[in-house]
């Protein structure tokens, strides 16, 4: 790689038991140790509750919550040995639930709770935990439908000016991990929304009501 570093690329399904353990073993074999773990796999199920099924919610939680837990269980002993760092990718939606986004928000609220609990549990082992909460970042997540299928013919309906470039977000994430920060909200608009949700919840409710926000449409649907 550029800069003289080595990388190992492995395909892994976080919804399948045993796959994270296999990936962690291959990483150990290649590099000898694991110092930093980033639990990042996720997608978004969207739509009003009356249009969704229990299976939609299960599918969402299986990836976004249990996928994170599988990652942790597969690497926790490594992090304890190296007194390493666990980074969990949450979302602004883990602080603010909007109409039409209850499955995704539920998953990210759960991840936020997990990060807060583990931060205290793992402190004695020297393992630090960072919750990272991006807002809108350039990625394919908004082109993935409720079944987890990428819709390449669709377009990202979030305005380009509001989407942070992926490399910029990555640099901010690496900086937060290196500094072992407790939490970092990555995007500027995300910081504003999280502040309002935490300190002025009535204002946030009023803004949502005034805007008549109904959430984003599932990719592949008009």
What is the b/e burial string over 93-119, where b = at least 16 CB atoms within 10 angstroms of the residue's CB? bbbbebebbbbbbbbbbbbbebbeebb
Q: Which of these, 38, 209, 212, 172, lies nearest to 111 by C-alpha position? A: 38
Q: What is the mean pLDDT of the chain?
A: 92
Split at pLDDT 50, 70, 90, the class of 213 is low
Split at pLDDT 50, 70, 90, the class of 202 is very high
Distances (CA, A) of 14 to 64, 94, 110, 137: 9, 20, 17, 22
Number of H helices, E strands in the chain: 7, 4
Task: Give the torsion sign (CA, 202, 207, 212, 216).
Answer: negative
Distances (CA, A) of 130 to 116, 121, 183: 9, 13, 5
SS3 131: strand
Split at pLDDT 50, 70, 90, the class of 215 is low
Split at pLDDT 50, 70, 90, the class of 73 is very high
Extract long-range pairs of 68-71: CB within 8 Å, 24+ residues apart.
Answer: 68/14, 68/39, 68/41, 68/111, 68/114, 69/114, 70/14, 70/17, 70/19, 70/20, 71/14, 71/20, 71/37, 71/39, 71/41
Tokens coding 49: 């509750």
Q: Which of these, 128, 98, 113, lies nearest to 190 by C-alpha position? A: 98
Q: pLDDT for 156-189, tens place per residue?
A: 888 888 899 999 999 999 999 999 999 999 999 9
Known catalytic residues? 104
pTM for this entry:
0.90
Q: pLDDT for 3-15, tens place per residue?
A: 667 899 999 999 9
Give the other-Cβ count within 10 Å of 76's Cβ. Answer: 19
Class of domain 19-135+176-211: alpha beta
Tokens coding 199: 């300190």
Q: pLDDT for 91-143, tens place per residue?
A: 999 999 999 999 999 999 999 999 999 999 999 999 999 999 999 999 888 87
Domain ranges of the chain: 19-135+176-211
Task: Report whether 39 contacts 89 (CB < 8 A).
Answer: yes
């Amino acid at each position: 790689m550029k800069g003289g570093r080595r990388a190992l690329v492995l395909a892994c399904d976080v919804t399948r038991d045993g796959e994270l353990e296999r990936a962690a073993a291959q990483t150990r074999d290649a590099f000898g140790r694991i110092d930093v773990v980033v639990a990042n796999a996720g997608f978004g199920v969207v739509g009003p509750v009356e249009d969704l099924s229990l299976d939609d919610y299960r599918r969402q939680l299986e990836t976004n919550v249990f996928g994170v837990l599988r990652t942790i269980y597969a690497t926790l002993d490594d992090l304890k040995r190296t007194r390493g760092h666990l980074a969990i990718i949450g979302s602004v939606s883990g602080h603010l639930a909007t109409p039409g986004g209850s499955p995704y928000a539920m998953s990210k609220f759960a991840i936020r709770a997990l990060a807060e609990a583990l931060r205290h549990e793992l402190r004695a082992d020297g393992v630090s935990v960072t919750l990272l909460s991006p807002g809108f970042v350039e990625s394919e997540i908004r082109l993935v439908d409720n079944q987890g299928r990428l819709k390449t013919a669709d377009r990202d309906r979030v305005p380009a000016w509001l989407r942070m470039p992926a490399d910029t977000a990555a640099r901010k994430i690496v900086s937060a991990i290196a500094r072992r920060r407790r939490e970092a909200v990555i995007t500027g608009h995300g910081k504003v929304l999280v502040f309002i949700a935490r300190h002025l919840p009535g204002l946030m409710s009023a803004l949502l009501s005034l805007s008549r926000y109904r959430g984003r449409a599932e990719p592949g649907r008009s």
